[in-house]
């Protein structure tokens, strides 16, 4: 029965992305909402990096010396960073230097789609690992599994709002489906495989961290800087911080 609960909770965690998508679809002013969602996503990603991924990596590499752990982390975080940099060159050309009153909005739209695409790719990898963790904890302690699933869901709602507001879902059905089901995929992997070594999980987590650093600093932050004086940007930062604080106490 605990295995059934584990699979159910991993599915629920991924479905929280759709809640964010529903919220995004109901908004009338897409430009203002994009500024809001970018700012909120930036704060949530910052929280994932600092409060989730870094402590997780430290724990996973605890059997190695400090210098060995740092070298392994640095190498594979750089790998994740370079993977997205490579995708940056492959995905349609985009710029950050766009303004609200520019005549041609095409490059702004291309940039939004670009950010949405690479965010989905990195979050799929991240959520597979989270699904692995949710399932593993659920079969050990159902209460802890529920709390982890809720915490992951709180992170997924604002990220879903950002992705669904910047990406054409009809043109990216497969990627969107992969994102929503990514936690479930992780749970099924745990059910089939049973366990993966801490070293392998630590390497994958380091790659994910490198990807999220790239998105946060090279994609989202420039967007925020361009719109920092807008009320919706400040509201996004505030709501993101509030969600982050709430998730830390769950």
Q: What is the pLDDT of residues 8-39, one digit of tens each?
A: 999 999 999 898 888 888 888 877 887 888 88
Structure tokens belonging to residue 68: 């060995």
pLDDT at residue 166 is higher than 70: yes
- 8 contacts: CB under 8 Å, gap ≥ 6: none
- The pLDDT value recorded for residue 111 is 56
- 202 contacts: CB under 8 Å, gap ≥ 6: 57, 60, 61, 72, 73
pLDDT band for 196, please (50, 70, 90 cuts): confident
**What mean pLDDT comes out for the span 66-79?**
95
The number of distinct structural domains making up the chain is 1
- The pLDDT value recorded for residue 68 is 95
- The pLDDT value recorded for residue 61 is 95
- The pLDDT value recorded for residue 22 is 87
* Residues of the domain holding 44: 2-248
pTM confidence score: 0.71
What is the torsion angle, in degrees rounded to the nearest 10, for the CA atoms of residue 13, residue 128, residue 115 and residue 30? -10
- The pLDDT value recorded for residue 184 is 95
- What is the CB-side half-sphere exposure of residue 221 using CA atoms within 13 A? 9
Q: Which helix (H) or strand (E) holds 162?
A: helix 142-166
pLDDT tens for residues 232-245?
999 999 998 998 88
pLDDT band for 113, please (50, 70, 90 cuts): low
């Amino acid at each position: 029965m605990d295995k059934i609960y584990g699979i159910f909770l991993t599915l629920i965690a991924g479905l929280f992305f759709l809640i964010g998508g529903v919220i995004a679809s109901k908004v009338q002013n897409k430009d203002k909402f994009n500024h809001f969602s970018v700012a909120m996503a930036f704060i949530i990603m910052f929280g994932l990096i600092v409060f989730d991924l870094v402590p997780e990596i430290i724990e996973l590499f605890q059997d190695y010396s400090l210098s060995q752990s740092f070298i392994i982390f640095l190498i594979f975080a750089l790998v994740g960073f370079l993977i997205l940099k490579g995708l940056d060159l492959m995905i349609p050309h985009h710029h950050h230097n766009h303004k609200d009153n520019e005549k041609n909005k095409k490059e702004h739209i291309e940039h939004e789609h670009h950010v949405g695409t690479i965010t989905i790719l990195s979050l799929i990898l991240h959520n597979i690992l989270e699904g692995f963790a949710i399932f593993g904890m659920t079969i050990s302690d159902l209460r802890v599994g529920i709390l982890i699933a809720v915490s992951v869901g709180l992170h997924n709602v604002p990220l879903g709002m950002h992705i669904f507001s910047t990406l054409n879902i009809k043109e990216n059905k497969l990627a969107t489906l992969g994102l929503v089901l990514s936690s479930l995929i992780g749970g099924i992997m745990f059910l089939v495989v049973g366990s993966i070594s801490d070293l392998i999980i630590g390497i994958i987590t380091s790659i994910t961290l490198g990807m999220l650093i790239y998105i946060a600093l090279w994609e989202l932050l420039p967007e925020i800087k361009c719109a920092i004086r807008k009320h919706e940007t400040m509201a996004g930062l505030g709501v993101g911080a509030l969600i982050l604080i709430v998730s830390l106490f769950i």
